[in-house]
Amino acid sequence: MSTSHSPLLYTLLSLFLLTGCQKEEAAPPQTFAKTLGYIAPTFGYPYYNFVTDDSMNVIVAYDAGPPDDLANDPFFTSLKIKLEKLDPFGETVWERTFDTELETKVGGMTQTQDGGFLLTGAQTDGNDSPVERSYTPLLIRTDAEGSLLWLKSYPLFKDFYGKAIFEAADGNIYVQADSREASGWVMQLDSEGNLIRRIYGAQGTSIIRTDAGDFLCAGRGLLLMQADGNIRWNNSYVSNADEGVKFFEKVIAVEDGNFLAYGFLFFDQEESEDNTSDFLLAKIDEEGNLIWELVIDRIDRDIGRNICLLPNGNYMAVGTIQKGFEHQGELRAYIVTPDGEQIDTEQITSGSHPFIIPSAIYPIGDKHLGLLVTTSPDAYGSSYLTVRFRKLEQ
């Protein structure tokens, strides 16, 4: 691995170190660091997303509530889904809040063919007991200005949480919904959010449609389904329990018709006291065969979260490291070639944010990169969390 640092990683490191202690307006022109809101540590790690438009505006989906309300609200009912549009300088163009009487969480978003937005997530049933409380998938559709068109929940899928969403060319909507019990559904809906069918699949947080019209779901391994629900292949990519569990958080299509899946290789704590998981990147062909695999061993619990294609043809993968009993967090970025060679790495964190979780990273045009993260002032991540967006130079 090269010991020299790329300009992109140097910029990432510098911005996180500098903006942790300075005011947001100190960022250089057309780059910025913006605090979006505050959330409560519920439903596990946050899965937020953003999209960009042709004018380099950024539209971010997240959930938030006033920090004073969250601190005094044991059931976090003040948590609401938000959609916010930022101009290229980080100024808010508009902000929409989808207010319900129940706690809601966003899990994924996509832009629709008519310029609007689709958001998926979850809504609780309002039960005051955290143990007995359940939740169901939530779907929101807006117009291009973020105004609500409709909001629907799906009680049929009790204790399932919408994590990923996309709209097909025919206008149908597909949602990847998973549970805490290692199971999941792909929900097929019409353009008005009416359920057409449900397809049982693996637990996962990412779904894409292939050029052949099939659906590739990432979770505990990878699963490829046809549009009629028949499973073409389902591969865990492990031959025995001693190899651990391969959990993919993100899958993307690459130019040669194959796929990249990024996540982590998990080991049982009793079997491996010093290293519970490692970063994992795998290239898979359309038949589910493993082309190559890259395992990056850092320290303690390493969790790969998101990967994107850079304009130069390489890939940037981001993930978090949880160190020791206190789960103190670090954010790591890796540059990987199309052939699976790791050519650069850098710790991206600030001493003022010991707990940090990346949600999404994508290029903004040819010169910038967007990074959406959640941070906490304490190493446990047990107090309310802060949602932050960074626009960085590539």
For every residue of 69-117, DSSP letters joined together read HHHH-TT-TT-EEEEEEE-TTS-EEEEEEE--SS-EEEEEEEE-TTS-E
Task: Please determine, for residue 91, whether its predicted confidence score (pLDDT) is greater than 80.
Answer: yes
Higher pLDDT, 23 or 329: 329
Higher pLDDT, 187 or 13: 187
Higher pLDDT, 122 or 77: 122
Residues 281 and 287: beta-carbon distance below 8 Å: no
Percentage of the chain exceeding pLDDT 70? 73
pLDDT of the residue at 161: 82
Task: Please determine, for residue 17, whether its predicted confidence score (pLDDT) is greater than 50.
Answer: no
Residues 379 and 326: beta-carbon distance below 8 Å: yes
Q: Name the residue among 389, 387, 394 with its Cα closest to residue 80.
A: 387
Task: Please determine, for residue 247, whether its predicted confidence score (pLDDT) is greater than 90.
Answer: no
Give me the mean pLDDT over the 144-173 stretch: 89
Confidence of residue 116 (pLDDT cuts 50, 70, 90): very high
Over the stretch 354-393, which tens digit does the pLDDT of each residue have? Answer: 567 788 888 888 888 898 988 776 655 456 778 889 888 7
Task: Please determine, for residue 20, whether its predicted confidence score (pLDDT) is greater than 50.
Answer: no
pLDDT of the residue at 131: 64
| Distance (Å, whole) CA 354 – CA 385 | 12
Residues 61 and 81: beta-carbon distance below 8 Å: yes
pLDDT of the residue at 311: 84
Residues 125 and 182: beta-carbon distance below 8 Å: no
Give me the mean pLDDT over the 125-135 stretch: 69
Higher pLDDT, 237 or 242: 237
pLDDT of the residue at 126: 67
Task: Please determine, for residue 195, whether its predicted confidence score (pLDDT) is greater than 90.
Answer: yes
Give me the mean pLDDT over the 150-177 stretch: 88
Task: Please determine, for residue 39, whether its predicted confidence score (pLDDT) is greater than 60.
Answer: yes
**Amino acid in position 178:** D
Confidence of residue 3 (pLDDT cuts 50, 70, 90): very low
State phi, psi for 299 to the nearest 5 degrees.
Answer: -160, 140
* Structure tokens given for 162: 């919408």
Over the stretch 50-79, which tens digit does the pLDDT of each residue have? Answer: 999 989 999 999 987 766 665 555 555 557
Query: Would you give the DSSP letter of residue 28?
Result: P
Give me the mean pLDDT over the 118-147 stretch: 83
State pTM to two decimals: 0.81
The bridge status of strand 204-209 relative to strand 195-201 is unpaired
3-state secondary structure of 135: strand
Residues 260 and 281: beta-carbon distance below 8 Å: yes
Rounded-to-10 torsion of CA 248, 254, 259, 261: -10
**Amino acid in position 61:** A
Which residue is it, tokens 């006033």?
66
pLDDT of the residue at 44: 56
Tell me the CA distances in angstroms from 217 to 73, 196, 206, 317, one per residue in order.
36, 19, 6, 19
Higher pLDDT, 223 or 29: 223
Give me the mean pLDDT over the 197-211 stretch: 78
Confidence of residue 88 (pLDDT cuts 50, 70, 90): very high
pLDDT of the residue at 269: 55
Which residue blocks in 208-259 are alpha helix, DSSP H? none
| Distance (Å, whole) CA 132 – CA 183 | 20
pLDDT of the residue at 382: 54
Task: Please determine, for residue 221, whether its predicted confidence score (pLDDT) is greater than 60.
Answer: yes
Confidence of residue 84 (pLDDT cuts 50, 70, 90): very high
Task: Please determine, for residue 143, whether its predicted confidence score (pLDDT) is greater than 90.
Answer: yes
Higher pLDDT, 59 or 3: 59
Task: List the end-to-end C-alpha distance of the chain, in Å, as a whole number.
Answer: 20
Task: Please determine, for residue 228, whether its predicted confidence score (pLDDT) is greater than 90.
Answer: no
3-state secondary structure of 37: strand
Confidence of residue 29 (pLDDT cuts 50, 70, 90): low
* Structure tokens given for 84: 């916010």
Count of alpha carbons within 13 Å of 112, Cβ hemisphere only? 22
Q: Which helix (H) or strand (E) holds 67?
A: helix 67-72
Q: Is the dihedral of CA 111, 112, 116, 121 positive or negative?
A: negative
Over the stretch 276-286, which tens digit does the pLDDT of each residue have? Answer: 788 899 999 99
Which residue is it, tokens 């065969």?
289
Residues 345 and 333: beta-carbon distance below 8 Å: yes
pLDDT of the residue at 352: 47
Which residue is it, tokens 């309310």?
384
Task: Please determine, for residue 310, whether its predicted confidence score (pLDDT) is greater than 70.
Answer: yes
Strand partners, 231: 225
- Computed over every residue of the chain, the mean pLDDT equals 79
State phi, psi for 30 to the nearest 5 degrees.
Answer: 65, 5
Highest average pLDDT, of 88-92, 343-347, 390-394, comes from: 88-92
pLDDT of the residue at 301: 75
Rounded-to-10 torsion of CA 294, 163, 112, 250: 0
